Amino acid sequence: MDNVKSIRVHEHGGIDKLVIDTLSAPSPKSREVVVKVKVTSVNHLDLWVRAGLPRVSFPLPIILGSDGAGVIHGVGDEMTDLQIGDRVLISPGTSCGTCEQCLSGRDNLCRQYKIRGEHCDGVDAEFVSVKREDVFKLPDNVSFEEAAASALVFITAYQMLVDKAGIQPLEDVLVMGAGSGVGTAAIQIAKLFGARVIAVAGSVERLEKAKALGADDVINYNSEKISQSVRKLTDKRGVDIVFEHTGQATWEESLLSAKHGGRIVTCGATTGYKAVTDLRQVFARQLTIYGSTMASKSRILLLLDLLKKRKFKAVVDRVLPFTDVRDAHRLVENRQHFGKVLLKF
């Protein structure tokens, strides 16, 4: 193995900036493994890195991809607990492993924390080299597709709902962008905790799929005003938690949909980051707003256990060959998917 193919971005712009490069094959250092990648997933993050963001610098050229699963192809000379042929999931985030935050299980707060495909090379390649602590053995009954479709969105949604917002049984949870990967994860996690889920999406088809996944009630933002529908569904009370990641287009409605003393937790801004906040809504109604990014790698162990026990479902829209990455970006950019679009290597 001399060369490998990878999906890279050399300069920001449209879908035409996605290129398939041939690079030198990686070799593992003493505490690393080389993974033969089988499946990766496309996240909205990939679109941001490809297109570029104002006042944000990405290390170009960069290999895209945060989620990946595959088979160990090579091991470093200090490796004793993993061997060639093991099926593994790659953590979408990596950190120093030695600072106070890492050692206390809050590695996503490490000053050196990096998301693959954003702050460092990602997993959209035929082979990648990864630190030992960033790979997790897959249970026998969990497929590469299930693992790659779930990692980033599960740990993100779990930290938002559980670690940040402190979800409780019987609470009302409003899930914005319910058809996205993180939205489908949020629906399932909220139901695992015994909450009532109100899912928001822009088409009848997406809302039907959200209900099939566990949503109790649905709101079509193209035909209904979200906050008004929330008031009807909650007897004018509002929801306990708003799960927000769409940003500018829905932010005002998120504020108006939360109950007095409610919590809003946000991890993204897929429709724009210049959201206007009416501070009167925040202080007069005593709202709590949480910001959230990723989660501790330890949450991957929980994900794999839930996948193994079939208590969490990987939601896959379709699987495309990695050479069709431009089509994959187009699908996600135009919101023509429900769940995750995967790339097969």
Q: What is the mean pLDDT of residues 323-341?
A: 96
Burial class, 12, CB count within 10 angstroms (exposed 0-12 / middle 13-18 / buried 19+): middle
- Mean pLDDT of all residues in 302-318: 97
Convert the pLDDT of each residue in 220-249 to its tens digit: 999 999 999 999 999 999 999 999 999 999
pLDDT band at residue 1, thresholds of 50, 70 and 90? low
Topology of the domain comprising 3-137+315-344: Quinone Oxidoreductase; Chain A, domain 1 (3.90.180)
What whole-number distance in Å separates Cα of residue 146 and Cα of residue 220?
A: 28
Task: Average the pLDDT over 140-165 and give the result.
Answer: 98
Mean pLDDT over 313-320 rounds to: 97
Q: How confident is the model at residue 64 (pLDDT cuts 50, 70, 90)?
A: very high
CATH superfamily assigned to domain 154-291 = NAD(P)-binding Rossmann-like Domain (3.40.50.720)
Is the full-model pTM beyond 0.85? yes
Chain segment 282-296, per-residue pLDDT in tens: 999 999 999 999 999
pLDDT level of residue 152 (50, 70, 90 thresholds) = very high
What are the residue boundaries of the structural domains of the chain, listed by start?
3-137+315-344, 154-291
Closest CA to 79 of 34, 132, 36, 128: 132
What pLDDT, in 10s, does the model give residues 250-273?
Answer: 999 999 999 999 999 999 999 999
Nearest Cα to Cα of residue 255 among 268, 269, 242: 242
pLDDT of residue 2: 81
84-108 pLDDT tens trace: 999 999 999 999 999 999 999 999 9
Confidence of residue 81 (pLDDT cuts 50, 70, 90): very high
- Please compute the mean of the pLDDT values over residues 160-164 and round it to a whole number: 98
